[in-house]
A and B are shown apart, each in its own frame.
Chain A
Amino acid sequence: MKYSIFSLARAALSGHQNWQRTWRDAAPKDRYDVVIIGGGGHGLATAWFLASEFGIRNVAVLEKGWIGSGNAGRNTTIIRSNYGLPGNTGFYELSMKLWERMEQDLNYNSMVSQRGVINLYHSDAQRDAYARRGNTMRINGIDAELLDQPALKKMMPFLNFDHARFPVQGGLLQRRGGTARHDAVVWGYAHAASGLGVDIIQNCEVSGFTRDANGKVTGVETSRGKIGAGKVGMAVAGSSSRVAAMAGLRLPIESHVLQAFVSEAIKPLLPNVMTFGAGHFYVSQSDKGGLVFGGDIDGYNSYAQRGNLPVVEDVCEGGMALIPMIGRVRLLRQWGGIMDMSMDGSPIIDKSPVEGLYLNAGWCYGGFKATPGSGFVFAHLLARDESHKEAALFRLDRFRRGAMIDEKGQGAQPNLH
């Protein structure tokens, strides 16, 4: 179905009783040209771009639960392209450009809100680092503005500017950054991909790979039977090591939990997305009024999809340090998601060492903003068997070659990224 002002009016006038399903709940066929494992944002975006850009429509997305039940529905919805390292800068900007036309492309309201993302700085050294990052962005045609304290005070007068340890001196602002409604991103890609013939198969867990005599992957074994495939792409977020292990691969990845928090709804307070550069705290205000925030990962391997109290305390302290008034706001909900933490904090989009199996992994906690870009470059890789130029540095062998993309400069320790 196609949404338009008339379809909305028709549905409203008939008491919202006649909304149609937005994607087909398909049953598996025997064989597809491409099978994507994982019905999160990345898997669904990949399927959509395969069908819409690369003309490959005999595609299935296999999801063990329901689409969007993983990190696509658990993240804090921040989108931005304020990265400083080669590899990241161009890729995230490609993604940002796709966010900017997503609603038109998909005919779906994913509520992309370019309300701005501001990273605060608290010392002269940090200001210089942000100035450099901002310059890198501008050289690459990406918007960035370095704000000093008076400019910031006009925009966000409620910040704790005189904090004794981490005074807020200013911030690096990307006005084109912001948020998007994460569930709607999943539904939008499902809606559009399904419309082009892609099969979206839920409750279908991949439990193994079928291989030919040369070891090439020929399909997958699932809870709904064997499904043949010309190529298999995995986009399983926090489960990458587990799925890759079924093909005998070990990856430079650990699974860690990241928690997120939502407060009760309050009147409009925060004009944009804000990050605390000295601690680790980031926050935005949802359209319903809740403050949506998070901080560091819990820092140890976990598949438990729930976190622990020290990080709850740390995140709340970070929030209080910056915006003391939120101490009076009650916490409504808290949850955790399991993410791939790669050894350098950057993603892996590449052919795997097993023929026929392709990797889209290692997104750490910044992978939501990557959704459209990741889908585009992964579809490019699956369709053409070569990396898209904006993903050329996200290769698996970069660790062996010493060509890591370590945006934080932390070294090979996943829990520090």
Chain B
Amino acid sequence: MDLRYSEADEKFRGEFRSWLNDAVPAYGDPPPPHDWPARRAYDTGWQRTLYQAGYACIDWPKQYGGRDASPTEQLVYFEEIARARAPYVGINFVGIKHGGPTLIAEGTPEQKARHIPRILKGEEVWCQGFSEPGAGSDLASLQTRAVRDGDHYVVNGHKIWTTYAQVADYCELLVRTDPAAPKHKGISWLILPMNLPGIEIGPLRTLVGEGEFNELFLEDVRVPVEDRVGAENDGWRVTNVTLRFERGTAFAAAIYSQQEFLADIARAARQVTRDDARAWDDTALRKEIGHAQAELDALWAMVKMGVSESSKTGVPGIAGVAVKLLYSELDQRLGDLAMRVLGRAGLSRDDVGGLPSKRFLATALKSISLTIAAGTSQIQRNIIAERILGLPKER
């Protein structure tokens, strides 16, 4: 039960920190969130900067350009990124955290050679084509069809929640290759180049307004068979290999940015004056801020527990399942706190009265998605109840 980082971890921290101290101010401020070409340039440029300094994809194996960073080194990495308020992966998220690791684990030598170095250097952006209008929590019931025609698959279907499709070069696409097989057994994983004929991208207007989500309409799109990753009909297993890369750090960056948000809320509360008192003087509000702080610190300790477990055993502890449930619900409470501090200024999504409405509302509205995306809170609770607590299935 020891929270002291090793000397090697602290050495890595020192080097990375001093690099960030110069690199972050030199890189400049991010563009407006909906200027997609500018965001692509900004995020891929930062990725290239990281790559040149040897800090890109540190969790990847050395032979693929990573550092084989241990889970604790990854924690140090997140702590330092947060401390320096440095950019994080941004639109490179799918390539770095999902597509790339999947190719490393399951790709052919040709697939790896074609994509891995380019993802690493920020030359190639990926998006994710998993969910469909009829396949959300029950993802394995997806219906997008891929029919073999010589050395191509002909793909027809409709994907939704395709993050960053508007700037992506490739899509990790799940398709049904055997409609007769049980639903988990008839799925394949394809690399879909986004410039093929028959692909139509429609921005999905969410409750936030504009954003990173899209719909993807696929009509007779011809994907070379050589772009399939893993065996035909083995796509469900291929999808799950990325879990092996998840070493208890999946939500570390998100939890760290919550810390920033909470500190900003507290700062705003000390500025706002209502009825001749600062919002901060409201004991109830202050205690809720303290309460949220406790949960955030406890969550970070929980991440450290999972990371320690995976450092030794290769897999994070079972309790890690609860991290997603807890952090997503906490995020929404932070959103409520932000709204309470803003008061009527929170009715404006542009800054008014010197308050950071724009940023607070963007975070508060986005938080609504967190209990839905990547497994709804209800699905997480079923998993905890059945797999951890051993409670009987409902039917």
Task: Decide if A and B are genuine partners.
Answer: no
Interface residues of A (CB under 8 A from B): none
Interface residues of B (CB under 8 A from A): none
